[in-house]
Structure 1
Amino acid sequence: MDLEQIFNDNKEQSIEGRYLTLESIEPLLNKLNTNNQLSIVGESVLKKPIYKYQIGHGKTKILLWSQMHGNESTTTKALFDFINVLHNGSSLASELLQAFTFCCIPMLNPDGAKAYTRVNANAIDLNRDSQDLTQPESRVLQEVFHCFKPHYCFNLHDQRTIFGVGSSGKPATVSFLAPSYNEEREINESRLKAIHLIAGINEVLQQYIPGQVGRFDDSFNLNCIGDTFQALGVPTLLFEAGHYHEDYQREETRKYIFMALLSSFTILSENDIVDNGINKYLNIPQNKVVFYDFLYKNVKLNYDGIEKITNFAAQYKEELIEDEFVFNAYFVEIGDLDGYYGHFEYDAKEAAYKDKDSNFPKLNQKADFYLENSIKFVNGLINK
């Protein structure tokens, strides 16, 4: 199966970038509503509709939800790319529709999506509300779960650019987790199914992004929805879309999430369980916080007349300013920074730092500066 070609043929061109709102996807949902697959299953805090899209008539039921965190849109894009496959009339589409019933909530947190925030309109992280169910969005997901009675759950998220695959120096472009179902992090039948499936997906992704697949820490937290559903006996997989080189809009990562989704269903439909799955899963390196967006090395800094050769780092803040999404780089760390990497690295070779106010970068200051008064950096990057 040529996953790259299938992605190119089915990529949904009407949505792109990081800022994806309900207004972005409603026309698409209505277009895909060819046979009453679309329904409204609830409302957000601000009374925005929460949509469910259900398609297929197979005996294996898959529940997928995205944008539980409003500013995590990459998996939403990939989910629509996959739904396009189900509509393309191919033999693959026919096989998937006969094998599975897919229940998709493409945007669980429309208020957070509009505001480009992790939390909902009540400033609650929905992924810490699976027990108390204080929020309408949390209750919607729980109700869909109990009514649909899925055989597998796919919890779709984005992760920050700070994560690397162990200490390899490679970014965690895609990460997975088979959440724990108890404090002891034991492996029961349902968790084992998730583990085997992730191990199989990883084998596929290694052909495309070798060394760039990570695994999240499996500490148990019953307030997290994945841990809750796993504890209820339903195999649950956490997907995390991360950084790919120079892909801050996550259009390349989108492709790998699509590949992961499609390959997971192929594995399930063919009952293609990997050998030695637990070890293969545990051998996926854990995510580690080792990256900055910008790392400047061997820079001469002058602080109160004292010169020092050191390193400093900057990080993008994803900011929504008057409904325009922008990346603004700010200084976040100064020091040795041994063991850290930058998605953009620059060796100053002891060139002197200077900005409009001083000869020393200040934390939380915008990353606009000069080196030796000749090389200008604007928003973290060399101004050519």
Structure 2
Amino acid sequence: MKSFFKLILLFITVSVASQTNDFTSKIYENYETYKETSLDKRRIKHQDIQPIINALKNKPGFTVNKVGQSIEGRDLTLISIGSGKNKVFLWSQMHGDEPTATQAIFDIFNLLISNDFTSEKETILNSVTLHFLPMLNPDGAEKYTRRNTLGIDINRDALRLQSPEGRTLKRVRDSLNADFGFNLHDQNIYYNAERTDKPATISYLAPAYNYEKDINQVRGDAMKIIVFMNDIIQKYAPGQVGRYNDAFEPRAFGDNIQKWGTSTILIESGGYKNDVEKQEIRKLNYVSILSAIYTIANGRYKNIPIADYENIPRNDSKLFDLKIEGATYNLLGKPYTVDIGVKRYEVDNADNSDFYNVGRIADLGDLSTFYGYNTFNADGYTIVEGKIYSEVFNAVDDISDLDVFKLLKSGFTYLQLETLPENNLEASKPIHLVKAGHQIPELILRPGVNPTFLLQKNGVNEYAVINGFLIDLKTKKNVLKNALVYR
């Protein structure tokens, strides 16, 4: 008889696992059906999500409540659906410049509204009550900055509770006494999975609730959910998952919410090659969060070994946007072999709706233990300083038909204009613009220097690096966002 019951239990477990895998695969494959297309850029603002939230008020099953206000008076909204006894609380954009999961939340709403996946949604909504606070720091989002208007990091305000946003988060958590909490963030794109060249596209953490990093059932359940989510992400971004640093931070909300009895899962959205706006990462958030909610609903996570959590590689920070390996650099008459690590930093426009890039040499020397989103083997290539083209043009319109690639091949990386574009600091063509008569400094490679030079082989300029973007002068292939305007 015992064998019979074991067989039945095994059959049920396998059946539930199969259903979960099938659900995950289908929501991934059909993602575009549910993607909230009005939110297709990272720099979303409070006003962008209000029409969507208002529309949810008229959707069956949803309740929408104002639960607080930011310092500047923007509403903080809690959106709830479901009737199950397991309460799940998800909050996003505690840092105003970390919106990837915010977008994914609205994709999840679209799936819940749809007529699809009726069986899975019935399981979820009968077993779980979901509560979403999609933008905790709308004032920071307005300026695309981490901190709130008070100038503090809300995620370090769990004890003092000086920010109205932090007080709202605490009050909502306490009123719900949620079983599970999803603390949704973005991390910088230069994290990699330890000892690999893979970006930490998604990093997870079950935050510690004390300095000893003890594991009780609350934290252990969070670890099990993370192991489950990691398995899902491995299908779509193999090797691109990291484990965030679990040092206890007594001021942080995640650590304290874990301490207060809510199994807390931190999700950090990092980088993914050629995904500047993090739309593929948004999709991975959508799939993994929905799948995690489903496994909470069906209880499958309970059988996952906690030990598998430690098998997820730690976050490291050894990525560059561009890594140039083994280039020859002539200095004071002598040749040296150097690797160059380049990072491209984002500088926002006036209303924080878009950005341009400023490239910087982040490091140089022996970078053999570092990696690049784009790595170029420069063995046999010599770094050559670019020149200013002698002809002076009147304005930008006068260079619209210019063969810039021909100029780059000839060693010119700067054009002179009598009139520079007003207020613009970025140039659309792959060549820098300078005021007529401008003198460029001698190229001396150092951290902090803008990476603009040519890579020459056998006396021929085959590649150009403009503002940290690598340009193949033979194929004209490049992914340049912008060059710079020097005034």
Interval containing the TM-score (normalised by the shorter chain): over 0.9
The whole-number CA distance in structure 2 between the counterparts of 1:81 and 1:267 is 19
What is the CA distance between 1:305 and its match in structure 2? 4.2
Letter in 2 for 1:183: Y
Name which of structure 1's ranges 13-22 and 355-364 shifts more when overlaid on structure 2: 355-364
The whole-number CA distance in structure 1 between the counterparts of 2:146 and 2:254 is 17
Q: Deviations over 1:276-298 (max 9, x none)?
A: 52111110111111111111122
The whole-number CA distance in structure 1 between the counterparts of 2:218 and 2:255 is 12
Task: Check the 8 A contact 2:64/2:78 in 1, yes or no.
Answer: yes
What corresponds to 1:381 in structure 2? 469
What is the CA distance between 1:61 and its match in structure 2? 1.0
| Partner secondary structure for residue 328 of structure 1 | strand
Task: Check the 8 A contact 1:301/1:360 in 2, yes or no.
Answer: no
Aligned runs of 1:217-236 on 2, under 5 Å? 217-236=245-264
Aligned runs of 1:350-361 on 2, under 5 Å? 350-355=381-386, 356-361=440-445
For the pair 1:57 / 2:83, whether they are aligned, the reply is yes
Q: Decide which of 370, 373, 376 is 1:340's aligned counterpart.
A: 370
| Partner secondary structure for residue 346 of structure 1 | strand
For normalisation by structure 1, the TM-score amounts to: 0.95
Name which of structure 1's ranges 348-357 and 123-132 shifts more when overlaid on structure 2: 348-357
For the pair 1:104 / 2:132, whether they are aligned, the reply is yes
What is the CA distance between 1:43 and its match in structure 2? 1.6
Q: Deviations over 1:61-107 (max 9, x none)?
A: 11111111111111111111111111113303333222221111111
Q: Deviations over 1:207-247 (max 9, x none)?
A: 22221111112111121111000111110000111111211
Letter in 1 for 2:128: F
Indicate the RMSD between aligned Cα atoms, in angstroms: 1.8
The whole-number CA distance in structure 2 between the counterparts of 1:73 and 1:186 is 31
The whole-number CA distance in structure 2 between the counterparts of 1:27 and 1:94 is 27
What corresponds to 2:216 in structure 1? 188
Unaligned residue ranges in structure 2 (runs of 5+): 1-22, 387-439, 477-487
Task: Check the 8 A contact 1:19/1:71 in 2, yes or no.
Answer: yes
For the pair 1:77 / 2:77, whether they are aligned, the reply is no
Task: Check the 8 A contact 1:293/1:314 in 2, yes or no.
Answer: yes
Name which of structure 1's ranges 18-27 and 294-303 shifts more when overlaid on structure 2: 294-303
Q: Decide which of 17, 20, 23 is 2:44's aligned counterpart.
A: 20
Task: Check the 8 A contact 1:199/1:274 in 2, yes or no.
Answer: no
Higher RCO (C-alpha under 8 Å, 6+ residues apart): 1
Q: Deviations over 1:120-150 (max 9, x none)?
A: 1222111111111121111111111111221
What is the CA distance between 1:275 and its match in structure 2? 4.5
For the pair 1:309 / 2:337, whether they are aligned, the reply is yes
Q: Decide which of 159, 163, 177 is 1:149's aligned counterpart.
A: 177
1:16 to 1:60, Cα distance in 2 relative to 1, 3 A: same
Q: Decide which of 449, 461, 464 is 1:365's aligned counterpart.
A: 449
Name which of structure 1's ranges 239-248 and 300-309 shifts more when overlaid on structure 2: 300-309
Task: Check the 8 A contact 2:179/2:261 in 1, yes or no.
Answer: no
For the pair 1:289 / 2:373, whether they are aligned, the reply is no
The whole-number CA distance in structure 1 between the counterparts of 2:448 and 2:190 is 17
1:136 to 1:303, Cα distance in 2 relative to 1, 3 A: farther
What is the CA distance between 1:337 and its match in structure 2? 1.5
1:276 to 1:270, Cα distance in 2 relative to 1, 3 A: closer
What is the CA distance between 1:308 and its match in structure 2? 1.6
What is the CA distance between 1:379 and its match in structure 2? 2.8
What is the CA distance between 1:319 and its match in structure 2? 1.9
Q: Decide which of 344, 348, 373 is 1:320's aligned counterpart.
A: 348
What corresponds to 2:206 in structure 1? 178
Task: Check the 8 A contact 2:227/2:304 in 1, yes or no.
Answer: no
For the pair 1:119 / 2:143, whether they are aligned, the reply is no
What is the CA distance between 1:183 and its match in structure 2? 0.7
For the pair 1:271 / 2:299, whether they are aligned, the reply is yes
What is the CA distance between 1:316 and its match in structure 2? 2.1
Task: Check the 8 A contact 2:89/2:182 in 1, yes or no.
Answer: yes
The whole-number CA distance in structure 1 between the counterparts of 2:71 and 2:378 is 49
Letter in 1 for 2:195: S
Count of matched residue positions in the alignment of Structure 1 and Structure 2: 384
What is the CA distance between 1:274 and its match in structure 2? 6.0
What is the CA distance between 1:348 and its match in structure 2? 2.2
Task: Check the 8 A contact 1:175/1:242 in 2, yes or no.
Answer: yes
What is the CA distance between 1:304 and its match in structure 2? 4.2
What is the CA distance between 1:112 and its match in structure 2? 1.1
Name which of structure 1's ranges 120-129 and 368-377 shifts more when overlaid on structure 2: 368-377
Q: Which consecutive segments of 4 or more residues in structure 1 shift more than 4 A?
A: none
1:49 to 1:304, Cα distance in 2 relative to 1, 3 A: farther
Q: Deviations over 1:7-46 (max 9, x none)?
A: 2221111101221111221122122222562222222122
The whole-number CA distance in structure 1 between the counterparts of 2:85 and 2:384 is 63
Task: Check the 8 A contact 2:221/2:302 in 1, yes or no.
Answer: no
Task: Check the 8 A contact 2:187/2:268 in 1, yes or no.
Answer: yes
Aligned runs of 1:196-207 on 2, under 5 Å? 196-207=224-235
What corresponds to 1:37 in structure 2? 63
Task: Check the 8 A contact 1:66/1:105 in 2, yes or no.
Answer: yes
The whole-number CA distance in structure 1 between the counterparts of 2:344 and 2:78 is 33
The whole-number CA distance in structure 2 between the counterparts of 1:17 and 1:304 is 47
